[in-house]
Amino acid sequence: MAAAGEFDLIFRDATVADGSGGSLSEGDVAVREGTIAQVGGRVDGRASEEIDARDLVLAPGFIDPHTHLDANLFWDPDLTPSSSFGVTTVVTANCGYALAPVLSEDARQYLVAAMSTVEQIPEVSIETGVPFDWSDLTSYAARLDELDVLLNHAFLIGHVPLRAAVLGVPGAFTRRASVDEREAMGRLLRQGLELGALGFSTDQVIGNPGPDGTALPGQVCGEEELLDFAVVLGQGPGPGLFTMANAALLLGREERVADLAWHRRLAAASGRPVVVGPIFDSTDDPGGACAIMDLTLEGQRAKATVVPQISTRPFELWTRLDSPGTLLRSLPSLMAAVLSDGADGVRALAADPAARAQLRREGASMPHNPVFNGRWDHVRVRYSHQRGFEGKDLDALSAERGLDPVDLLLDMAIADDFETQVATVMRNGNDDEVARLVAHPAAMIGASDAGAHILANTDSCYAVWTLQHWVRERKVLSLERAVAMLTGDQARLLGFGDRGLVRAGLAADLVLFDPDRIGTTGVRFVDDQPEAGRRLITDAQGVEMSVVNGTVATRRGVSTGARTGRRLRPSGRRRSES
């Protein structure tokens, strides 16, 4: 026990953004035994480490409410790169994909396949990196409690394993549940809530295919089942969040408005918030996202609380030319070449003048699909070994070189030994529309998908990106408002009454950053996925230090190896909404 006047950490002369959205303040912050001991003014006393925080901002650690880091918890205790961005708490098991319960080998294989297919996490990584030495939710929660990891984590109960446990395979993804089966799933959900789960998650997105092109549990279950879950959430402990990737995510405004009426019914059934997202702006319907946000605000006044989770990043799906990504859906002969023989198939196609001519014809008239509008000026190079290519669109690059975009694409990919990544920007592509979304009073930031889409996006950097782009570059958010959206607002929704603010007596999860430098750097590959090689990451700059439960977790983005993270349960009382 430390004596009075002795602390573990003192941050001297910090600018404090306390997570409430209130004004910035200047002063010292002291930490003792995992807790924030004193905030503001001059702290008398000494600490094991005193940090000169002049010109730096001290904020609550960022809380990432939407990750798919369930499997990573078992092979990457530092939860990279999220930890390098100043994130101190992650929520797992979003969108219905989760690792428990696993009551049969069939069910286990199905939930691994579903998570792998939709979230683009290699199946071999999950199979080799996750021990699966649990069966029911109780043994899983106990296993999570034993983990030595850098960050705090909390989980949702995923729809996929609940269905696989009760309906078996293939019933989980082919049919509706009987009344008895619905009750059995409800009991499992209730058990999960008692173990500290924050709520329930599912994926209803129309167009998302499951393993081998099958439907997903959230697409076949019917409304009664989900309404039953909502009732259980309303009765259980904790915040009882119903979270979902919504059916009309990639559809037009009419469908999205109709979808919202469904989410309100769920909210009315549970009496708890229904978190829906991501809500994207679409180039086909400028202003559509803000219209949905306005409608959710009206509903919140009527106590049918639908919380729209937004992304502060352009939504891009990256494509490598040796794998069947988004762009290839619009180029059938290239897709066929990839599916038949991967990179060699593409090389053979490129060497055949007639096949190239066919591909040029396809490229000149690419069809619209739900995630891509078929325009080469919306295809950007995100990764290439060739100087001057990154950041440019294929329309401009090919015009500069007097080439057809298809020829440029093939030549570039082959020259890069298929490391080229091109992005089809289809949602959140208009920075001014995204600015309106980010500034909207109903906006809840999320949708990082950290851990997922390992070769296709790097949105786990969303927090530092928000501070870089929306605060510093675009001045759409004040620093204190942005920090609140990344911390205090999240803690309140998720039921972490003891976190998300820099206040004496609360848990000491903190991030210290340079507001003039914080942001992301370019992307790079790291070769660290279990058995599956590479993933794409981006690095942070300007994040000086993060603290988890009172211990320094990262310095300049690098893990200290302290691993004081733990599984969080919602605290009993919820802070007042004011």
Footprint of Zn ion on this chain (CB under 5 A)? 94-95, 449
CA distances from 114 to 137, 208, 569 (A): 19, 11, 26
Give the nearer residue to Zn ion in terms of CB position, either 277 or 515.
277
Q: Let me know: does 451 contact 116? Beta carbons within 8 Å.
A: no
C-alpha 47/C-alpha 130 separation (Å) is 39
Q: Specify the long-range contacts of residues 40-46, CB closer than 8 Å, at least 24 apart.
A: 40/16, 43/7, 43/10, 43/12, 44/5, 45/4, 45/5, 45/6, 45/7, 45/10, 46/5, 46/6, 46/7, 46/10
Contacts of 302 (CB under 8 A, 6+ apart): none
Task: Name the residue with the smallest CB distance to Zn ion.
Answer: 95
Please, what's the b/e burial string for 297-335 (b: 16 or more CB within 10 A of its CB; e: otherwise)? eebbeeebbbbbbbbbbbbbbbbbbbeebbbbbbbebbb
Min. distance of Cβ 365 from Zn ion in angstroms?
A: 33
Structure tokens at 535: 């993933």
Min. distance of Cβ 90 from Zn ion in angstroms?
A: 12
Min. distance of Cβ 237 from Zn ion in angstroms?
A: 24
CA distances from 86 to 259, 379, 383, 469 (A): 34, 31, 25, 16
Min. distance of Cβ 70 from Zn ion in angstroms?
A: 11
Min. distance of Cβ 351 from Zn ion in angstroms?
A: 39
Min. distance of Cβ 95 from Zn ion in angstroms?
A: 4
Orientation of helix 353-364 relative to helix 332-350, angle to 10°: 150
Give the nearer residue to Zn ion in terms of CB position, either 94 or 458.
94
C-alpha 68/C-alpha 450 separation (Å) is 6
Min. distance of Cβ 447 from Zn ion in angstroms?
A: 7
C-alpha 486/C-alpha 467 separation (Å) is 10
C-alpha 315/C-alpha 102 separation (Å) is 33
Min. distance of Cβ 278 from Zn ion in angstroms?
A: 8
Give the nearer residue to Zn ion in terms of CB position, either 57 or 450.
450
Give the nearer residue to Zn ion in terms of CB position, either 317 or 397.
317
Min. distance of Cβ 266 from Zn ion in angstroms?
A: 18
Q: Determine how many CB atoms are found less than 10 A away from the CB of residue 173.
A: 22
Give the nearer residue to Zn ion in terms of CB position, either 96 or 500.
96
Min. distance of Cβ 91 from Zn ion in angstroms?
A: 10
| Helix and strand counts by DSSP (H, E) for the chain | 19, 23
Min. distance of Cβ 156 from Zn ion in angstroms?
A: 10
Give the nearer residue to Zn ion in terms of CB position, either 289 or 543.
289
Give the nearer residue to Zn ion in terms of CB position, either 449 or 459.
449
Strand ranges (DSSP E) for 460-518?
Answer: 510-513
Give the nearer residue to Zn ion in terms of CB position, either 125 or 559.
125
Instruction: Determine phi and psi for 304, rounding to 5 degrees.
Output: -105, 80
Cis link prior to 324 (omega < 30° from 0)?
no
Burial of 65 (0-12, 13-18, 19+ CB in 10 A): buried
C-alpha 200/C-alpha 96 separation (Å) is 8
C-alpha 409/C-alpha 412 separation (Å) is 5
Structure tokens at 520: 């992301």
Cis link prior to 101 (omega < 30° from 0)?
yes
Q: Determine how many CB atoms are found less than 10 A away from the CB of residue 234.
A: 15
Question: DSSP character for 306?
Answer: E
Give the nearer residue to Zn ion in terms of CB position, either 95 or 410.
95
Give the nearer residue to Zn ion in terms of CB position, either 225 or 449.
449
Min. distance of Cβ 203 from Zn ion in angstroms?
A: 7
Give the nearer residue to Zn ion in terms of CB position, either 275 or 476.
275
Give the nearer residue to Zn ion in terms of CB position, either 94 or 538.
94
